[in-house]
Amino acid sequence: MGFRRPRFFRRPDNPGISGIPGSQGGTTLTQYVFVTGGVVSSLGKGIVVASIGRMLKSRGATIAVMKLDPYLNVDPGTMSPYQHGEVYVTGDGSETDLDLGHYERFIDVELTAVSNVTAGQIYSDVISRERNGRYLGGTIQTVPHVTNLIKERIHQLADETGADVAVIEVGGTVGDIEGLPFLEAIRQMHNDVGRDNAIYVHLTLLPYLGSTGELKTKPTQHSVQALRGIGIQPDAIICRSDFEVDLGLREKISLYCDVPTEAVIGLETLDTVYAVPLSLEEAGFGDFLADRLGITKSPDLSQWADMVEKLRDPKRTVRVAIVGKYVELPDSYLSVIEALRHSALAQDCEVKIDWIKAEDIEELGADSVLDRASGVIVPGGFGERGIEGMVSAARYARERAIPYLGLCLGMQVMVIEFARSVLGLEDANSAEFDPGSKNHVIAYMPGQRELGTTGGTMRLGLYPCALVPGTIAAGAYGSELVNERHRHRYELNNDYRDRLNGAGLLTSGTAPDGSLVEISEVEGHPFMVGSQFHPEFASRPDRPHPLFREFMGAAVDTLREGAQHSLPMDESGGDDTASSPEIVERSGIST
């Protein structure tokens, strides 16, 4: 493997946390890299963690990764997207922080519930153990009981994955009150696993002062001072900046923060997040980590570099409209954005996204809002706000043969629109949006009617989908059975399935027993496909998801035709594209 084996020890008076084998570093050989943040939030710790994982994996190391979130929610599943961005669903059905999406995309690993720990989980577990008498009448305190449980979760990650290196992000910013137990727990890890086996990386901001034209290091010095006050001396400091971090600045930070100059890394704002591993590698950070971790194998990021180079040099541009409920915060659809980028990369093009608020379509009409789009995506969401705008977007795409990809809710509004416009069921709707409708073409899935809570009560995680031969979906996947990640309560109502199929809304994917519709598509349309699952979670830079890949291919073809974007010229111009046979044929799909 190209490793010098790590050295572990356990103090005689400290046999382990709660009697768990290896919980103080006694039986596993995992080493740890802890990443904290300072000065301000939203610096990109998740991208840095993902990039560290990518660099170490390129040296042959197996990687585990974890996000420690200090908020008191048990998970982000019930949080508004405006509060915390998208909810990322792992294969085992865990609703997690969006940073886990970065981890999976960069490192190409399949994560589970063990990779996302929140303060809500920790405190709930501590209180449950106390109520059940697990502490034998002892006084329960933050130290050691809360911190021990945090460390127990960290070691559980190592034990379950058997990874060579675990890269662990501590959410929030140094100085936040809610983050103190997590910082104390990772501080203790130094002694628990041995100082050679725990590395601390601190990410900070170097603000630019326009009046003097210089980057300022004082906030970084204060952030490190606060970290050291907790008992953590960073081994490396990564300095985010919009400008070059020269050697003089790095030497100054080295002097005041007691970190070797070679371990002070400048990270300028880049044109794509996928370039971050390459930038850190070029700055020598990969070699620094490898030396500290005893990794002797040389890195190979050549394929990653080729991917970034191709990403930076697209041959053409395609415009895609995302019609959603939370478009004011694009992070609400982060995985959708990245899946589009991956599929555009495969088509050697750049995707330009038009963010369309669904309510704007209700007010202005689809013709005036979607007229430039070569493709339309309606992503997931909950609640009735904006639904009629999404239905109008689906009708616009169907009638004009514009490529359409519906994701979860996007499939449901596609079904609603088809039932209204083609089957003539004017009140067709979802039981979620209009309980009084007589035609619930979307209804509660079996067993969900009586649920009284909202957290973790949906159909979550991987479920199998059997594809129908000869359909667009089956052609995209090139296989008969696939597994996809779900996050929803409602399903296509089987009472309407035969009527929809007969009218041209084909069932192209089902549960293996045929009981649930997983994919629907419009017959005769270049690409109008809706999935009840979330394919965006499975997309990778070098392996775009098949549905996104085929959607983008259809959008590129639509762009090449160009006819839907052309303006009719007067008779003297002799080029009235609006009446071309191609347009007539394509628009005729709705008849």
Does 166 share its domain with 257?
yes
Q: Is 582 among the domain residues?
A: no
pLDDT at position 504 over 80: yes
Looking at 102, 486, 488, 534, which residue is catalytic? 534
Does 530 share its domain with 475?
yes
Position 356 scores a pLDDT of: 96
Q: Is 95 among the domain residues?
A: yes
Does 113 share its domain with 237?
yes
Q: How confident is the model at residue 41 (pLDDT cuts 50, 70, 90)?
A: confident
Neighbours of 19 (CB within 10 A): 7
Burial bucket for residue 434 (CB in 10 Å: 0-12, 13-18, 19+): middle
Q: Is 414 among the domain residues?
A: yes
Whole-angstrom distance, CA of residue 568 vs CA of residue 83: 45
Mean pLDDT of 455-472: 88
Whole-angstrom distance, CA of residue 59 vs CA of residue 295: 7
Helices (H), 429-561: 472-477, 497-503, 546-561
Which positions ≥6 away from 329 have C-beta within 8 Å?
81, 82, 85
Q: Cis before residue 144, ω within 30 degrees of 0?
A: yes
- Indicate which CATH number applies to the domain containing 427: 3.40.50.880
Position 397 scores a pLDDT of: 97
Does 242 share its domain with 354?
no
Listed residue (281, 386, 374) closest to 323, CA to CA: 386
pLDDT at position 391 over 90: yes
Whole-angstrom distance, CA of residue 361 vs CA of residue 359: 5
Neighbours of 549 (CB within 10 A): 21
Listed residue (332, 388, 397) closest to 362, CA to CA: 388
Whole-angstrom distance, CA of residue 522 vs CA of residue 405: 11
Does 302 share its domain with 401?
no
Mean pLDDT of the chain: 89
> Which of the 8 DSSP states describes residue 540?
B
* 172-176-178-181 Cα dihedral, nearest 10 degrees: 90
Token pair, residue 181, equals 């137990």
239 carries an active-site annotation = no
318 in Cβ contact with 556 (< 8 Å): yes
Residue recorded with tokens 């007010």: 363
Position 447 scores a pLDDT of: 57
Does 135 share its domain with 35?
yes
Q: Is 377 among the domain residues?
A: yes
CA distances from 183 to 70, 171, 189, 202, 204 (A): 10, 10, 10, 12, 16
How many CA atoms does the CB half-sphere of 354 hold within 13 Å? 20
Position 2 scores a pLDDT of: 60
Domain boundary among 308, 335, 360: 308
Looking at 281, 417, 536, 550, which residue is catalytic? 536
Token pair, residue 470, equals 């000869």
- The secondary structure element, H or E, covering residue 201 is strand 198-205
First to last CA, the chain: 63
Does 300 share its domain with 318?
no
Q: Is 6 among the domain residues?
A: no
Task: Please report, rounded to a whole number, the percentage of residues in the chain having pLDDT higher than 90.
Answer: 82
Q: Is 522 among the domain residues?
A: yes
> Residues 215-256: pLDDT tens digits?
999 999 999 999 999 999 999 999 999 999 999 999 999 999
Amino acid of residue 50: A
Does 366 share its domain with 513?
yes
Which positions ≥6 away from 22 have C-beta within 8 Å?
16, 28, 155, 158, 159
Position 457 scores a pLDDT of: 63
> Residues 320-346: pLDDT tens digits?
999 999 999 999 999 999 999 999 999
Q: How confident is the model at residue 29 (pLDDT cuts 50, 70, 90)?
A: confident
Does 120 share its domain with 202?
yes
Domain boundary among 308, 338, 370: 308
CA distances from 512 to 299, 375, 535 (A): 43, 30, 18
Strands 505-510, 517-522: pairing is antiparallel
- The secondary structure element, H or E, covering residue 405 is strand 404-407
169 carries an active-site annotation = no
Task: Please report, rounded to a whole number, the percentage of residues in the chain having pLDDT higher than 70.
Answer: 87
Position 11 scores a pLDDT of: 32
Domain boundary among 308, 327, 343: 308
534 carries an active-site annotation = yes
- Indicate which CATH number applies to the domain containing 51: 3.40.50.300
DSSP string for residues in 498-514:
HHHHHHTEEEEEE-TTS
Q: Is 11 among the domain residues?
A: no
Whole-angstrom distance, CA of residue 221 vs CA of residue 223: 5
Does 249 share its domain with 329?
no
Looking at 239, 257, 349, 408, which residue is catalytic? 408
Total structural domains in the chain?
2
Rg (the chain; Cα; Å): 26
338 in Cβ contact with 368 (< 8 Å): no
Per the structure, the complete domain to which residue 342 belongs is given by 314-445+458-564
Mean pLDDT of 462-481: 97
Whole-angstrom distance, CA of residue 377 vs CA of residue 407: 8
Q: How confident is the model at residue 274 (pLDDT cuts 50, 70, 90)?
A: very high
> Residues 63-101: pLDDT tens digits?
999 999 999 999 998 888 888 889 999 999 999 999 999
Does 187 share its domain with 245?
yes
Listed residue (463, 477, 567, 460) closest to 516, CA to CA: 463
Q: How confident is the model at residue 10 (pLDDT cuts 50, 70, 90)?
A: very low
What pTM value is reported for the model?
Answer: 0.88
Q: Is 167 among the domain residues?
A: yes
363 in Cβ contact with 330 (< 8 Å): no
Q: How confident is the model at residue 453 (pLDDT cuts 50, 70, 90)?
A: very low
Amino acid of residue 522: V
Whole-angstrom distance, CA of residue 238 vs CA of residue 65: 19
> Residues 189-202: pLDDT tens digits?
999 999 899 999 99
> Residues 135-184: pLDDT tens digits?
888 899 999 999 999 999 999 999 999 999 999 999 999 999 999 999 99
Does 96 share its domain with 200?
yes
Residue recorded with tokens 């809710």: 409
- The secondary structure element, H or E, covering residue 215 is strand 214-215
518 in Cβ contact with 511 (< 8 Å): yes
User: Which is more confidently placed, 366 or 580?
Assistant: 366
pLDDT at position 18 over 70: no
Q: How confident is the model at residue 586 (pLDDT cuts 50, 70, 90)?
A: very low
- The secondary structure element, H or E, covering residue 369 is helix 366-369
